């Protein structure tokens, strides 16, 4: 995958989000939790609200610390929207084998990707989270670029 031509702008940190803790979930995986619940990040896509259930890793924690973010995400390969971040994030790259509709991942250390199709892949990513309402993302396939606002 080649990411190019995106813009991103960042704003202020929200110190309250730094109090998130890591706890074991029932699945045996670690989940980012805040007040006993899995942490979510709000995402507004073309003025439509969604939530991203977050993975528990350093990339996600650093991304949360940079919120709010306004991004213009361009289309790539007819299955994803992407935007470069102004600053790099830590990576925990893994071979994912299959992308699911609604996955939000980091390609490299500075390219945030939102997938709107499910497909197999040989690429490796750092997992950020998954849009809870993934079944409602079909509308973005028709748009060349989307405006996204990420908030706590």
Q: What is the pLDDT of residues 7-40, one digit of tens each?
A: 333 333 332 332 232 333 333 333 445 454 569 9
Measured in degrees and rounded to the nearest 5, phi and psi for residue 80 equal: -155, 155
Closest by alpha carbon to 90, among 101, 73, 106, 78?
106
In the structure encoding, which two tokens stand for residue 55, read together? 């993975």
In the structure encoding, which two tokens stand for residue 40, read together? 């979510």
**What pLDDT score was predicted for residue 3?**
41
Q: What is the pLDDT of residues 35-94, one digit of tens each?
A: 545 699 999 999 999 999 999 999 999 999 999 999 999 999 999 999 999 999 999 999
Alpha-helix residue ranges (DSSP H) falling in 12-109: 58-65
In the structure encoding, which two tokens stand for residue 74, read together? 């361009």
Q: State the Cα–Cα distance between residues 71 and 9, nearest whole angstrom.
A: 7
**What pLDDT score was predicted for residue 7?**
34
In the structure encoding, which two tokens stand for residue 152, read together? 């706590």
Q: State the Cα–Cα distance between residues 86 and 38, nearest whole angstrom.
A: 27
């Amino acid at each position: 995958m080649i990411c190019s031509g995106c813009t991103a702008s960042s704003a202020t940190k929200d110190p309250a989000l730094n109090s998130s803790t890591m706890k074991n979930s029932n699945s045996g995986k670690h989940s980012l939790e805040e007040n006993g619940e899995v942490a979510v990040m709000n995402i507004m896509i073309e003025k439509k609200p969604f939530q991203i259930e977050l993975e528990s890793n350093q990339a996600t924690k650093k991304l949360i610390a940079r919120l709010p973010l306004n991004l213009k995400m361009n289309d790539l390969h007819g299955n994803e929207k992407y935007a470069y971040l102004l600053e790099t994030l830590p990576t925990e790259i893994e071979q994912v084998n299959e992308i699911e509709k609604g996955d939000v991942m980091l390609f490299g250390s500075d390219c945030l990707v939102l997938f709107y199709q499910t497909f197999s892949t040989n690429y490796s990513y750092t997992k950020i989270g998954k849009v809870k309402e993934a079944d409602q993302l079909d509308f973005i396939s028709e748009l060349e670029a989307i405006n996204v606002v990420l908030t706590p």
